[in-house]
Amino acid sequence: MQEIILYYFGGKIKDRLTPTPFNIRECHALKVRLTMKDGSVKEGFANTHCTWPERHLLWEDKELEALDFLVLEKYIHIDEATQTFTCGGMQRNETACEQIMYADIEQIEAIAFSGIRWGAKPTNKFDLSAGTPFVD
């Protein structure tokens, strides 16, 4: 893996990080675009604290350092055209998940404060305009 680029909404670069297990955790719960070594691109939300396939959350540093993958999550109940949820309640939080090995990733791009809990628009797409831009 070459680099982790962390953006603010609006496109300003917040940080460029060397990929380490600790730095990859900085992407937890953020919207990411993964450029894979085979040239393909995957977008969604990074879960860097999750076992697979049990989806048990880990928080201890020792356990997290042993992970060599992230879980890419995509919300199931989103209308991408309108960037709205298509249902309410707990059902709106349902996600489709894919295990992505760190060894298969060429680059990670992430958007700071891009989780829906921070007020970002509901979209699985890596969209630098789908939230409040950073202001110096």
Low-confidence ranges of the chain (pLDDT < 70): 1, 134-136
Asked if 8 contacts 18 with a C-beta cutoff of 8 angstroms, the reply is: no
Prediction pTM value:
0.90
pLDDT tens digit sequence for 92-104: 889 999 999 999 9
Asked if 67 contacts 35 with a C-beta cutoff of 8 angstroms, the reply is: no
